[in-house]
A = this chain, B = another copy of it.
């Protein structure tokens, strides 16, 4: 018989996949002999079983839960639902990966009309007991049964009003009895049955609610953002309650062993006296710094510090701990490796290596590659900052500078972000429902909550600038205005935030990119030691190339030549080329373009100083270049000496039904070989001249896009070779050059053995390859992909994370076939997946030579490549 439930003492930290992170760590801490309220964990497998059984908990699993419960009762000397000394438990989710704020929690479970009496007797505090029961009914009804909170809040307000009370704390035991009575009436009315009195029924309903919450929309969005597979499931932790809200010798808090923003060693956290755990996280009351505890309860503080230190050493990582003090006694409710900013992650990783606690390999593996993104985010331009008007300051919750237009709801933020605006989300406080708006925002500003509030935790995770707990701000979310520091700002006005200082500025302040130095550059050096993949960049201009070099790029994997055609006078010349009626006219127009294109290439070659540069020939359909406005058409007609109607007709004739699958890529070179000739000439002349001028040995790499067939590549290659040889002769040069192709059409991958006969290198264009393999266009997929995520058909955006399953099979096939024909063929990818760590791991596994990504993502790719290499060395 399968084991579905483990007592804490039966598990350990290695059992994370089965028990979830929280459950495994509770088990580990139990084994370490730490003060943990005991309990048991229902496994992630039970969650999976729940779904495959049609959302039912089987009898077998239920029996094991009740057995564990019995064991817990014995251990605690309390009985579930007892009138004298009832056992109360919390029910919490705990997945394999931490999903903060995503899952629902139920406290005080076990209370009923009788047990509340027993609880009152035992605690000697009837008011506390009835308040606990009230809270439980509300939480259970809301979280488990989905009866809206507002009904209960109204009752509470009504009773307070009737009594003339102002605060919840004014309510007496008898008031609370009245509240409980009315709560139960609401429950009966909404649910058509009495509030469940059987604690076991309560428990099973709560367990099912946790299982269900694994699939709520917020959880699905979070998983997609963090590459967490839906099949993992969540465990459920059932733990004896301890109470931080039993008076002034009780309290609850959250602390980190190192600063999660900066990584600086030393305890860092907050606590609240006389509060339940959720009060801290929810950020409703502003808590005290942990160091204050030393004054309040020195013995507890000492014990806490000892255990914290022990936990960090045990796990060899910075810990994020939750604790409760019940009438002077300290309990740890959980510990886990703490979330941290990328900045802190680097600091901690370097420190832990210095402290001899971990190896360099472990340090590299510990840093989430994607998180480096944060460090590459902008800071304010110094001069621009001087002119900025500070209108307020609050908690520096997530570092980085941000500037954008103010929006007051997650939805508005998301919508305006999608229409291209830079957005700052301003909220009283954030909640998990806001997740997509937070993701869309450049920065987040909240009125309430501390450094561990929802907004702060999530923003750090995302690397989004965040300023929290700004008490002075007056936010009117309805009217869409806020006032602060004497200014009133409305929706759409610009503000700027510095998440590192907590300062809030009126208006827009220009930002600058961050560089690589200190710990960052140390980690990059380590990454370079371990990785086997080369990292190139996608860059179309000397500026991009220079930026990428600074960030560590080792070459250019994709230089898109078409971007060069949009500037000023060039677009007119390319339009002339497109509207030419004869090959001669076209060649003449193209000849005018050569100096520009050559100049661009020279600029790039000069910056790259001999590093490899792969130049992709013209790719987009020609209609992207023609004018759409009549005045531009008239200008073009005049310039070409033809009628406006002719221009219009020519532009119309370029219309395509499915431009993505139309007349583009090398198809342009097959129909107009003179374009390939012009580009070849520009590439070759530029390389020869720069070689001569700078004494370099540039070997140009010419890449033919959108090839689907060997003969097609050969046709274009023949044109290129003929022109290149002509240029060499003209210039008296014996320069080498390489010709390769993009593999971005399924047919090219399927026939890669043949294509490789003509190609010295393959570069996988994973954007197009993904589109054609899935049969949906990136521009249109937005209309239905959300439904696919909801239905768990796809769990991540295949344009962000390489679909190793389908597209990956095609790539693997092409790699094998390509190498069959040409064992030394150079292989790389240049789609946007080149900057995605999980996709990089796949490329590393396949033994590609390089990945190419945007300049901005080069450090991420380097770290990802190092992690992949280390994992592969370790046989993972």
Contacts and interface: CB of A to CB of B under 8 A. Distances in A.
Interface stretch (A250-258, A298-306, A426-434, A778-786): A778-786
Interface in A800-821: 803, 805-807, 809-810
Interface string A651-673: 00000111111110001001100
A714 to B, nearest CB: 8
Interface stretch (A113-121, A436-444, A537-545, A767-775): A767-775
B751 A805 contact: yes
A763 to B, nearest CB: 16
Contacts of A750: 773, 806, 809-810
Contact of A780 (B656, B709, B805): B656
Contact of A671 (B709, B772, B784): B784
Contacts of A788: 670, 712
Contact of A793 (B661, B709, B745, B773): B709
A746 B792 CA distance: 21
B715 A780 contact: no
A661 B772 CA distance: 8
Interface in A244-264: none
A784 B661 contact: no
Interface string A738-770: 000000111100110000000000000000100
Given A656-B780, A662-B780, 6 more contacts: A656-B777, A658-B660, A661-B777, A663-B780, A746-B806, A772-B775
B777 A807 contact: no
A820 B787 CA distance: 31
Nearest to A807: B747
Nearest to A655: B780
A775 B781 CA distance: 17
Given A775-B708, A806-B709, A715 B662 contact: no
A806 B773 contact: no
A149 interface: no
A195 interface: no
Given A775-B772, A787-B671, A780 B658 contact: yes
Nearest to A709: B793
B712 A661 contact: no
Interface in A685-711: 706, 708-709, 711
Residue of A656, A662, A750, A784 with most partner-chain B CB within 10 A:
A750
A776 interface: yes
Contact of A777 (B657, B773, B793, B806): B657
A670 B785 CA distance: 10
A791 interface: yes
A659 B745 CA distance: 18
Interface in A709-736: 709, 711-712, 715
Q: How many copies of this chain?
A: 2
A746 B711 contact: no
23 contacts: A656-B777, A657-B660, A658-B658, A658-B661, A658-B777, A659-B780, A661-B777, A663-B780, A663-B783, A670-B787, A670-B791, A706-B775, A708-B775, A708-B776, A708-B806, A709-B793, A709-B794, A709-B806, A715-B793, A745-B774, A747-B775, A747-B803, A768-B775
B793 A670 contact: yes
Residue of A656, A659, A775, A805 with most partner-chain B CB within 10 A:
A775
A772 B792 contact: no
A746 to B, nearest CB: 4
Contacts of A781: 662
Residue of A660, A667, A746, A777 with most partner-chain B CB within 10 A:
A746
Contacts of A660: 657-658, 661
Residue of A661, A773, A784 with most partner-chain B CB within 10 A:
A661
Interface in A412-440: none
A772 B792 CA distance: 25
Interface residues of A, number: 48
A654 to B, nearest CB: 9
Nearest to A810: B750
Contacts of A715: 791, 793
A646 B31 CA distance: 65
A751 to B, nearest CB: 5
Nearest to A622: B783
Contacts of A751: 805-806, 809
A661 B750 CA distance: 20
A735 to B, nearest CB: 24
Contacts of A706: 775
Given A751-B809, A792-B711, A793-B709, A775 B746 contact: yes
A788 B666 CA distance: 11
A792 B670 CA distance: 11
Residue of A656, A791, A807 with most partner-chain B CB within 10 A:
A791
Given A670-B787, A670-B788, A791-B715, A658 B779 contact: yes
A746 B810 contact: yes
A656 B657 CA distance: 10
Nearest to A715: B791
A667 B806 contact: no
Contacts of A793: 670, 709, 711-712, 715
B712 A780 contact: no
Contacts of A771: 661
A636 to B, nearest CB: 21
A803 to B, nearest CB: 8
Nearest to A656: B780
A214 to B, nearest CB: 17
Contacts of A667: 776, 784
Closest 6 A/B residue pairs (Cβ): A745-B775, A658-B777, A747-B806, A662-B780, A661-B777, A657-B779
Interface string A99-123: 0000000000000000000000000
A807 B588 CA distance: 40
A99 to B, nearest CB: 22
Nearest to A671: B787
Nearest to A660: B658
